[in-house]
Amino acid sequence: MRVGRWSVVVGVAAAIVACADQRRNERGGAGPAQKGIVPGAPPAIRVIADVSRGEWRMAAGDYGSLRYSTLDAINTSNVKDLRVITTFSTGVPRGHEGQPLVVNNTMYVVTPFPNNLIAVDLTKPGGAIKWIYEPHPNPVSVGIACCDVVNRGAAYVDGRIIYNLLDAHTVAVDAESGRELWRTKVGEINLGETITGAPVVIKDKVIVGDSGAEMGVRGYVAALDVKSGKELWRAFNTGPDSEVKIGPKFKAFYAKDQGKDLGVTTWQGEQWKLGGSTVWGWISYDPETNSFFYGTANPGVWNPDLRPGDNKWSCSLMARDGDTGELRWAFQFTAHDAWDYDEIMENILVDMEYGGRMRKLVVHPGRTGFVYVLDRETGELLSAETFEPTNWASKYDLKTGKPQEDPTKRTQYGKVTQGICPSSTGAKDVTPSAFSPRTGLVYIPAHNTCMDYEAIDANYIAGTPYLGADVKMYPGPGGYQGELVAWDVAHNRKAWGVREPVLPVYSGVLATGGDIGFYSGIELWKFHCASGIVGNPITYLGPDGRQYVAIYSGIGGWMGAVAFSDISADDPYAALGVVGAMKEIKKYTAPGSTVYVFGF
């Protein structure tokens, strides 16, 4: 499931490989796996919420963002016999960055813009379309979206499929009939706000976040009522404490993140109103502490000299109360970001033995090139180690929570800073990792891409790009550009990796109770799909009781969009600089729109 060569990577919809040499659960993978120990996992590793056991009801599969399923019918001994069971086209040849849902023997597929929702009856031979919901979002949003017209998925709750539209609306659709139940306007496309992320349902609330940090918007999360769609509250990521929802219960661990109205005072003038810090990635939730976690994007305007200060709460990890949205703690990864290091990546929640005792952890594989491990109750940084070539900083001081930066890699106005690693696309991007409780490893789809960066002038005009940088990217050192990294959380180190010489690993990862994963070790099987893959695999039990695997094939997204015919591969600065790193992609893949289902 890598974006790369046809014969090895681009067409690999399910390159399934051994995660580790662990014993299998012979009782079958569909059994109980509520909060606690997953079958086959050591007592020192406990999941914080139910993981996938046969259905796939939310984007990440579970609240802890493990992307792990207990199913084990497909395993290392028989995976070589996998074959295509069925395919169908969504009819939208753009980036398919999400994943299907499977609930009550029905598969639900959300397309890129125009964001159609397709319901497939899995009880029929080969699957049959039950209905298609067409929301007809405002086409103006297409010209506003930063990095392709992608959608990262839906959530199922109480007979409803809930998901976001590119034109900054959220919709709820009756899962049985396809009838629209409600539609809520969340953002203003005239200001550059879109929504590409997947929602998360917490109790009776739908949590959504906005996209558009490159348009000078202001980031937030909003809570909508599940039944009516009514907005219940909104929490901004920049601005005064009252609007960020910072009150007396806010307890930042580090002095650097403590103080009054930091969302204003760490910006110059009213730049915080254009401060980016959007929420276009993934949201995790801990039912025990009733806290949800998400990372924020880059600060508004890429030129750091136009926004003096730490620019809070950009590039930060936020922990909020699941009922009120009140901020409990925050940790800023990079103050005064100078590289476009969004930290909207997944936050993996797990309880495990760490440093000699059981800890409640949040594991964040960062765009910066570091894997961060924090205490999810306090926000204390427990570890930060690099997983790909990284030179903007050498390490983090765990006492202060601050990185030790290389001042020669700081970008500034009117100067080309060369050889920065990783690039703005990060050592990984929004494509999510997986965690196996059986192995204790996080499987990270990684990039090895570096860049030259020059900060330039930028003027704000509502609804237009607000960038302020010329960027050129290219493959990093070592003769490879992508890697599947297996990260040992307990020991803060890389266990092993599988490198890709030509292009980044730019698809999500799945781990299962059969001790197999998608791109997680020694290759056991692969299949050549019609288009490159930037989506995320899922696994489920069909109505016949058999295990299946599903994946979207359709190149796109920021890096993958270089495959489109309307983007020239001759200008290395095009597409926010990513063309220089992806100029070879047109040789290997073209747009597509196919959903693949594999089984025996």
pLDDT at residue number 558: 86
As a whole number, mean pLDDT of residues 89-108 equals: 96
pTM (predicted TM-score) = 0.94
From the CA atom positions of the chain, what is the Rg in Å?
Answer: 22
Say which of 25, 164, 298, 448 is annotated catalytic.
Answer: 298
pLDDT above 70: percentage of residues in the chain: 93
Whole-number average pLDDT of the chain? 91
Interval 201-239: pLDDT, tens:
999 999 999 999 999 999 999 999 999 999 999 999 999
| 190 conformational bin, left if phi > 0, alpha if psi -120 to 50, beta if neither | alpha
- Beta-strand pair 101-103/83-89: unpaired
- Name the catalytic one among 97, 167, 337, 340: 340
Q: Based on the residue annotation, tell me whether 21 is a catalytic residue of this protein.
A: no
> Where does the pLDDT of residue 29 fall: very low under 50, low under 70, confident under 90, or very high at 90 and above?
very low
Q: What is the reported pLDDT for 581?
A: 87
Least confident of 16-20, 84-88, 195-199: 16-20
> Which of 32-36, 226-230, 576-580 has the highest mean predicted lDDT (pLDDT)?
226-230
CB 521 within 8 A of CB 19: yes
- pLDDT, tens only, 462-495: 999 999 999 999 999 999 999 999 999 999 999 9
Q: CA 598 to CA 474: how far, in whole Å?
A: 35
Evaluate if residue 16 carries a pLDDT over 50.
no
Answer yes or no: 148 catalytic.
no
Angle at 334 between CA 579 and CA 483, to 5 degrees: 45
Where is 560: in which H helix or E strand?
Answer: helix 557-560
State yes or no: pLDDT of 454 exceeds 80: yes
Q: Is the predicted pLDDT of residue 588 greater than 90, yes or no?
A: no
Average pLDDT of span 571-588:
85
Q: What is the pLDDT of residue 516?
A: 83
Where b means 16+ CB within 10 Å and e means fewer, 291-314 reads bbbbbbbbbbbbbbbbbebbbbbb
Main-chain phi, psi angles of 163, to 5 degrees: -155, 170
* Residue 270 tokens, joined: 């009213």
d(C-alpha 130, C-alpha 117), whole Å: 11
Give the residue carrying structure tokens 């539609």. 183
pLDDT at 12 over 50: no
Both tokens of residue 528? 């050549």
What is the model's pLDDT at position 404? 98
Encoded tokens for 406: 């290389």
Task: Give the pLDDT score at 523.
Answer: 66
Model confidence at 241: pLDDT above 70: yes
- The answer on pLDDT for 33 being more than 50 is no
Give pLDDT tens digits for 78-88. 988 999 999 99
188 has catalytic annotation: no
Distance, CA of 425 to CA of 301 (rounded, Å)? 16
- Token representation of residue 136: 């007809």
**According to the model, what pLDDT value does residue 522 have?**
53
Per-residue pLDDT band for 34 (boundaries 50, 70, 90) equals low
Burial 110-148, CB ≥16 within 10 A → b, else e: bbbbbbbbbbbebeeeebeebbebebebbeebbebbbbb
3-state secondary structure of 73: coil
- Contacts of residue 545, Cβ cutoff 8 Å, sequence gap at least 6: none
Q: Determine the residue type at 18.
A: A
Catalytic residue (choose from 55, 148, 210, 214): 214
Q: What is the pLDDT of residue 386?
A: 98
